[in-house]
Chain A
Amino acid sequence: MANKNAPLHLFDRPNSYIGQSVPRPEAHNLLAGRGQYVDDLQLPRMLHAAFLRSPYAHADILTIDTTAAADSAGVVAVYSGADFADQVTPWVGELTHLTGLRSPPQMPLAIDTATWQGEPVAMVVASSRALAEDACALIDVQYQPREAVCDPVAALLPESPVIHSEYKNNLAWERDVTAGDVEPAFADPANTVVEQVLRFGRHTGVTLEPRSSVVEFNPAEQTLTYHYSGQAPHMMQAVLAKHMQLPEENIRIIARDVGGSFGIKIHTYGDDIATALAARLLARPVKFIADRLESFASDIHARDHHIKARLAVTSDGTIAALQMYDYTGIGPYSMYPRTSAIECNQILNLTGAPYKIENYHANGKVVFQNKNMMCQYRAVGHPVAMAVADSLLEQAAREIKMDVVEIRRRNLIEDNAYPVVSATGMKFADLSHQQALERLVELMQYEKLRKQQSTANENSIRTGIGLVSMVEVTNPSPMFYGIGGAPISAQDGATVRMDAAGALHVSCSITEQGQGTNTIIAQVAAGVFGVDIKRVKVTTGDTATTPYGGGTWASRGAGIGGEAVLLAADALKQQVLEVAAIVLQSNADSLDISQGNVIDKSDSAQRMSLDELGKLVYYRGSELPAEVQPEFVATRHFRVSDFPFVFTNGAMAAQVEVDTDTGIVKVLDFWVVEDCGRVINPKLVDEQIRGGVVQGIGGALFEECLYSDDGQLLNATMADYLVPMAGEMPDIHIAHIETPTSTSTLGAKGAGEAGTGGAPAAILNAINDALAPLGASIHTMPATPERILQALGEVPT
């Protein structure tokens, strides 16, 4: 539904802020230490929760003795799983459109069996967190340990123990995708076939602000207020209503400042639900702030893929076929309500997506295991999909002695070919792979860099250059979750109203976690309506005061929420002009709003200020004709309707230095060309992309949740789980191509996943480019020094 009649001047008007690096109004608040995060809340009579967690990956719980804990100082209540059994209905992480996906019901605390190390088993509520922890240590739980099922491949063997007795095996979901026929291409001796086993370690979000909940319950009104550090208030409202069996309207979710989320805080966690249950049972506010140890042990993890893949190319570098088998371990349950099958599904959908591939076969198996649960985290599936396709492609290029840029030129979907439906059924429109690649080549001075590379190697240092061409899923439609029965809205709403002083108040259902959501809302509203941005006040993150909507996830805030704001601001403008026309005895069509004034469209002559109009309407309504009842408020909602998602694309490159003696990889330089459609605020989008790239570099080089063979998480501290820090990160160069999406007037697509989705492939390719002359290669992430030394044969495997 290309909006061909859209008034282009929207973005060229005097008050248009689209495309400008407007600073975030809330920045100074945060810079003065005046942010309001959940843990900053101190409510009267508030209690603090701590959880006793299973020390075993898999164990039957024989007895739980809470007597001593209940007597401990400051303790108000101690709960085990059984205590909540009649307080909450179980939840099941299934979606009907993921046919065959199964997962047993989950409860807030383990009952009878603990299925991962870190699963909450008992809860203490006390007058301070320290006293609650003291009492946790006094709870006596008798366990009967069981064999832990950890490796997702071994978990499907007939001899493996089965985690859930109601199932015959540990398979949660399987999907097979076939397009064309891959076999002839692999059998053709004229083709070059490359094959790899790729492994992607478990990562986790490590949001600096941990998961945080403060819950209040009012027994008289049966209302529950949940102070939430998260991304999707209305989803949380629906989840709590359904499982606590409260009317949805009795639940209010408030998200003020959120200290990072990245997908971590958008799921249903037993400890958070238990906190709400305790608040209801005790009729007192209860605070639960996950500490770092329990963040590592219970925040969702991501990735954990074991992939075998092969690619066939013809002698001229054309991709003839791509095939992959993915095993992924998701922990003991599928997470609720988004499920844990989405990452595998995305990988099957997205692998090779930038390229013309006719013959494609992919099989994914999603497997239960006794590790922490895995679910959607920033760039769901993207880093895996991009690394599989692009590492095979660069390997194939090396084998047929073709430049890695050239092989992409021969295979990328042409910019003039859209709309295109991919081998996996993805509908692509408005993409620019070719332009992005050529812009990247120019930005990084590819030819020059290659020439320097041949002379740069000395002693143990080898340099390498790696690229990736990528797609990114953004602006999801209801086809993503809602269609499968999840209480997850894919539309968003915005209400824009004008006050008596002519200022705008916008409330919107998308949420802010630091990306600059509120700034972008203000930019769009100010520009479309015609006021200075200083006169726009934005409210997000409160189910009581914002229209219904999905929140911020899957890079949808600017694209979907921004469009809702645009539509609402435009509607309000029309309403205001109609009233102004009556007052001015003019015609609404001949009027406009600019700089907070009603003006004549023809000569921009100022007719009256919005302040005057507001005061007239609100204070002196008697001056208006009786039949005129002004409404200076408009609400509009928006969803993407013609496509399941709006894809964006990009191209990235890394230059690395591998020290072949130490195995340490230093990222020397990094370049990104991103096409996220219309850029609303360059400074915000650039640092969003950079943050994503750094997270991607983290995944490629540093981050991994390490488990022992019996399912013990070994590195649950920030000293042992290595996150990217400033000292090792490069400056990142960014260029944009703007191909606005034709699904909206605003034309904005998402950009939040790009860096995290693409960077790992570029880094991996750069490392392998450096190692190739030595006959070595690596296909495991993170590419740790030890793994690189092993790949080089310096130390035994």
Chain B
Amino acid sequence: MNHAQQVDIELIVNHEKINCRVPVRVNLVDFLRNELGLTGSHVGCEQGVCGACTVEVDGTMVRGCLMLAAQADGSTVNTIEGFAESGRAGHLQQAFATHNALQCGFCTPGMLASALEYLEQGGVADRAAIRQHISGNYCRCTGYQAIVDAIEEVAGQTETTDGQ
């Protein structure tokens, strides 16, 4: 069987309007990486378990491997490249660098996406809650501790700011 059905999709990726024709079986992260060259999102398991492909679709963080690109038609998608360029993850990026919260960097884009979700949903500087929130993102290199330190620091800053 080789239908090779393709569909035209139109979406906004990192504030840029994209029109593209994709084979229907291509998942979102493969599309972002291979068609758009946004290689910051990584493919670690293709099963939704490792979290390396986590991207934002219409305001929620999702596994890029568990959605078809065709399903993102009409959506607004943000990836690590977008978070970085817009400055939205600036505090987190700085804190990750300061705390050495990454080694090989392969999990980092997905980890940042989950951390961003935690913070933007009002997450506080509570280590157990942070650990729980990022428990769907696998990191083989660090002991997670520096990652928790980094997120905790930014959450603490946000709390202080809110308090003022």
Q: Does B33 contact A (CB under 8 A)?
A: yes
Contact status A23-B140, CB under 8 Å = no
Which residues of A are found within 8 Å of B144, using beta-carbon distances?
Answer: 690, 694, 725-726, 729
Contacts of A690 in B (CB 8 A): 142-146
Considering the complex, which residues of chain B in the window 104-143 have a beta carbon less than 8 Å from any beta carbon of chain A?
Answer: 104-109, 112, 127, 130-132, 134-143
Closest residue of chain B to A257, judged by CB?
A: B105
Q: State whether A33 touches B81 (Cβ < 8 A).
A: yes
A33 touches B2 (CB 8 A): no
Q: Judging by beta carbons under 8 Å apart, are A208 and B145 in contact? A: no
Q: Are A683 and B100 in contact (CB under 8 A)?
A: yes
In the assembled complex, the Cα of A725 lies from the Cα of B34 at a distance in Å of 29
Asked if A695 is an interface residue, CB under 8 A from chain B, the answer is yes
A738 at the interface (CB under 8 A from B): no
Closest to B50 in A: A718
With A24-B100, A291-B46 known to touch, is A208 a contact of B131 (CB < 8 Å)?
no
Assess whether B97 is in contact with A130, with CB atoms less than 8 Å apart.
Answer: no
Residues of B within 8 A of A18 (CB): none
Which residue of A23, A30, A72, A726 is within 8 Å of B131 (Cβ)? A726
Please tell me if B47 contacts chain A, counting CB pairs below 8 Å: yes
Q: A residues within 8 A CB of B89? A: 31
Report yes or no: B105 in contact with A718, Cβ–Cβ below 8 A: no
CB within 8 A of B50: which of A208, A289, A692? A208
Given the known inter-chain contacts A73-B4, A208-B106, please indicate yes or no for A725 contacting B146, CB distance below 8 A. Answer: no
- Is the CB–CB distance between B40 and A732 below 8 Å? no
Across the interface, do A31 and B104 meet the contact criterion of CB distance under 8 Å?
no
- Enumerate A721-768 residues with CB–CB distance to B below 8 Å: 723, 725-729, 731-732, 755
Inter-subunit contact B141/A292 (CB<8 Å)? no
Residue A559 interfacial (CB < 8 Å):
no
CA distance A515 to B144 in the complex (A): 14
Interface 0/1 of B75-102, CB less than 8 Å to A: 0000111001100010001001111111
Distance in Å from the Cβ of B45 to the closest Cβ of chain A?
4
Within 8 A of B (CB), among A686-730: 686-695, 717-719, 723, 725-729
Name the residue on A nearest B38 (C-beta).
A33
A731 near B142 with CB under 8 A, answer no
Nearest-CB residue, chain B, relative to A513: B104
CA distance A192 to B127 in the complex (A): 45
Closest B residue to A21 using CB positions: B100
Interface membership of B44, Cβ < 8 A:
yes
| Interchain CB contact (< 8 A) of B135 among A72, A515, A691, A725 | A725
Determine whether the beta carbon of B109 is less than 8 Å from that of A687. Answer: no
Query: Smallest CB-CB separation from B44: which chain A residue?
Result: A208
Quick one: which of B2, B46, B93, B141 contacts A260, CB cutoff 8 A? B141
Binary A-proximity of B5-32 (CB < 8 A = 1, otherwise 0): 0000000000000000001011000000
Query: Residues of B contacting A692 with CB < 8 Å?
Result: 143
Q: How far is the CA of A292 from the CA of B138 in the complex (A)?
A: 14
Q: B39 an interface residue at 8 Å Cβ cutoff?
A: yes
Q: Which residue of A lies closest to B40 (CB)?
A: A33
Known: A33-B40, A292-B45, A718-B47. A691 touches B143 (CB 8 A): yes
Which residues of A are found within 8 Å of B107, using beta-carbon distances? Answer: 208
Whole-angstrom CA separation of A728 from B101 in the bound complex: 18
For chain A residues 41-98, which have a beta carbon within 8 Å of chain B?
42, 72-73
B69 contacts A by Cβ under 8 Å:
no
The smallest C-beta distance from B35 to any residue of chain A, in angstroms, reads: 10
Whether B103 and A208, one on each chain, are in contact in the complex, defined by CB atoms closer than 8 angstroms, is no
Give the B interface residue count (CB, 8 A): 62
Please state if A209 and B49 are interface contacts (CB–CB under 8 Å).
no
Chain A residues with CB under 8 A of B45: 292, 717-718
Interface status of B37 (Cβ within 8 A of chain A) = yes
Partner of A32, one of B84, B127, B132, B140: B84
- A143: chain B residues at CB < 8 Å are none
Q: For A363, what are the chain B residues with a Cβ–Cβ distance below 8 Å?
A: none
A34 contacts chain B at the CB level, 8 A cutoff = yes
Q: By the criterion CB–CB under 8 Å, are B44 and A134 in contact?
A: no
| Interchain nearest-CB distance for B7 vs A (Å) | 16
Q: Quick one: closest A residue to B25, CB to CB?
A: A130
User: With A and B bound together, what is the CA distance between A717 and B131 in angstroms?
Assistant: 23
Which residues of chain A are within 8 angstroms of B85 by Cβ–Cβ distance?
Answer: 32
Q: CB of B52 within 8 A of chain A?
A: yes
Min CB distance, A179 to chain B, in Å?
37
A606 at the interface (CB under 8 A from B): no
Residue contact A23 to B49, C-beta cutoff 8 Å? no
Question: Is B42 in contact with A731, judged by CB distance below 8 angstroms?
Answer: no
Among B42, B46, B81, contact of A259 (Cβ-Cβ < 8 Å): B42
Other-chain residue from B37, B108, B145 in contact with A31 (beta carbon distance below 8 A): B108
The complex places the Cα of A210 from the Cα of B44 at a distance, in Å, of 7
Residue in chain A with minimal CB distance to B103: A514
Residues of chain A with a CB closer than 8 A to B44's CB = 208-210, 292, 718
**In the complex, how many angstroms separate the beta carbon of A477 from the nearest chain B beta carbon?**
27
With A687-B145, A726-B148 known to touch, is A719 a contact of B47 (CB < 8 Å)? yes
Residues of B within 8 A of A515 (CB): 103
Within 8 A of B (CB), among A513-571: 513-516
On whether the beta carbons of A27 and B102 are closer than 8 Å, the reply is: yes
Asked if A729 and B143 make an inter-chain contact with CB atoms under 8 angstroms apart, the answer reads yes
On whether the beta carbons of B109 and A33 are closer than 8 Å, the reply is: yes
* Measured CA separation A692–B137 after assembly (Å): 18
Q: How far is the CA of A23 from the CA of B96 in the complex (A)?
A: 10
Among A42, A687, A718, the residue within 8 A (CB) of B100 is: A687
Check if B147 is an interface residue, CB within 8 A of chain A: yes
Bound form: Cα–Cα A723–B146 in Å: 18
How long is the Cα–Cα vector from A24 to B145 in the complex, in angstroms?
17
Provide the bound-state CA to CA distance between A723 and B137, in Å.
11
Determine if B154 is an interface residue (Cβ-Cβ < 8 Å). no
Contact of A727 among B26, B40, B81, B135 (CB under 8 A): B135
Q: Whole-angstrom distance from the CB of A783 to the nearest CB of chain B?
A: 20
Minimal beta-carbon separation of B34 from chain A (angstroms): 7
The residue that A726 contacts in the complex, of B2, B49, B147, with Cβ under 8 A, is B147
Contact between chains at B112 and A42 (CB < 8 Å): no
Q: Which residues of B contact A694 (CB under 8 A)?
A: 142-144
A214 to chain B, nearest CB (A): 13
C-alpha gap A130/B142 in the complex (Å): 33
Q: A24-B97, A687-B100 are in contact. Are A37 and B79 (CB under 8 A)?
A: no
Residue of B nearest to A725 (CB): B135
CA distance A718 to B37 in the complex (A): 26
* Cα separation A262 to B142 with both chains bound (whole Å): 12
Whether B43 is near chain A, meaning CB under 8 Å from some CB there, is yes
Instruction: Kindly provide the distance from the CB of B38 to the nearest chain A CB, expressed in whole angstroms.
Output: 7
Q: Is the CB of B127 within 8 A of A208?
A: no
By a CB distance below 8 angstroms, the chain B residues around A36 are 39
- Using CB atoms, name the residue of chain B closest to A36: B39
Contact A257 B112 (CB under 8 A): no
**Does A270 touch B at the CB level, under 8 Å?**
no
Contact B80 A32 (CB under 8 A): yes
Taking a contact as CB atoms under 8 Å apart, the answer to whether B104 and A259 are in contact is yes
A719 touches B145 (CB 8 A): no
Which residue of chain B lies nearest to A681 when distances are taken between CB atoms in the complex?
B100
Complexed CA–CA distance, A27 and B43 (Å): 20
Q: Which residues of A lie under 8 Å from residue B109 when comparing CB positions?
A: 33
Which residues from chain A contact B47 at a C-beta distance below 8 Å? 292, 717-719
Beta-carbon contact of B93 and A32 below 8 Å: yes
> A residues within 8 A CB of B146?
687, 690
Write out the residue numbers on chain A whose beta carbons fall within 8 Å of the beta carbon of B34. 42
Taking CB atoms, residues of chain B closer than 8 Å to A516 are 100, 103
Q: Give Cα A729–Cα B148 distance, bound, in whole angstroms.
A: 11
A-B contact pairs, 26 of them (CB 8 A): A24-B97, A26-B105, A27-B105, A30-B102, A33-B38, A33-B39, A33-B79, A37-B39, A73-B4, A208-B50, A209-B42, A209-B44, A209-B104, A260-B106, A513-B103, A514-B141, A687-B142, A689-B143, A691-B103, A691-B140, A693-B143, A719-B47, A725-B137, A725-B144, A726-B134, A728-B135
The 6 lowest CB-CB distance pairs between A and B, nearest first, are: A33-B40, A690-B143, A30-B105, A514-B103, A259-B106, A514-B104
Known contacts A207-B140, A691-B103; 9 further A-B pairs (Cβ under 8 A)? A21-B100, A27-B105, A33-B39, A208-B50, A258-B104, A259-B106, A292-B50, A695-B140, A726-B130
